[in-house]
Structure 1
Amino acid sequence: MTAEVLAFLGGEPGKIALFEAYEATVLACGESTRKVTKTQISWGNPYLFAMLSHPRRAADRKAGALLATIGLNRRLDSPRILQAVEPYPGRWTHHLLLSRPEEADGQLRAWLAEAYQFAQAKQRRS
């Protein structure tokens, strides 16, 4: 884990565990690059398909949760999705709250794999 990632997570053990579980799930999708900024950690291949950020709600931040964002070509219908927006036709951005490492489960893995493939397809069209 880099110093940038530790700084982003504030060195909090709970957030570190969430990050490690999420990143392991992301990396299982295939080769990608990670970028750390002040507001988010993102993975791309080269187009972004997965992100982590701090939740906007203070209660969620205090609870040590992280906000996962996944880009897909369709809208997911799941109670785990906090918000889904279509910023432009055929591109859906989904936000879900991660509060326990176990939430990086098979369902999330499948969504991330789909997002990875969607980003790969965008690259081939470019």
Structure 2
Amino acid sequence: IRVQKTQITLCNRHVFSCVSFLRVRPKALMPASFFTLTFGLEHPLESARIDAKVEAYRNRWTHHVVLSDAGQIDEELLSWLREAYDFAQQKR
């Protein structure tokens, strides 16, 4: 874990996720209290929970999820983080 000025970065050999206050929705649609969880996978996720996604590099998709309640940290989200961790481990 690296604590930086604008984010907290989660790493194994490479960065696999970060937590920040990045706004990925229009300000009017953001919750009053939130943080954004960002993680990378080799494929795009199709879920209403994904607020934004972009193919940053070929077969490397960056996903952003806005979280405003501890109850949103569930098995589905944790499985995405596990997958992101494994994906980062495979990078050269």
Deviation at 1:53, TM superposition (A): 0.4
The match for 1:43 among 1, 5, 10 is: 10
The aligned counterpart of 1:87 is 56
Matched to 1:37, the amino acid is Q
**8 Å Cα contact 1:55-1:65 kept in structure 2:** no
Deviation, 1:37, is 1.0
Aligned equivalents of 2:27, 2:62: Cα separation in 1: 22
Counterpart in the other structure of 1:110: 79
CA distance in 1, matches of 2:61, 2:16: 11
Alignment match, 1:121 = 90
Number of equivalences: 89
Root-mean-square deviation (CA, aligned residues, Å) is 1.4
Q: Normalization by structure 1: what TM-score?
A: 0.66
Tell me the amino acid that sits aligned with residue 111 of structure 1: W
From the two aligned structures, give the one with the greater helix fraction. 1
Q: Which consecutive unaligned segments of at least 5 residues does structure 2 have?
A: none
User: How far apart are the structure 1 equivalents of 2:34 and 2:27?
Assistant: 10
1:64-75 matched pairs, under 5 angstroms: 64-75=33-44
TM-score under structure 2 length normalisation: 0.89
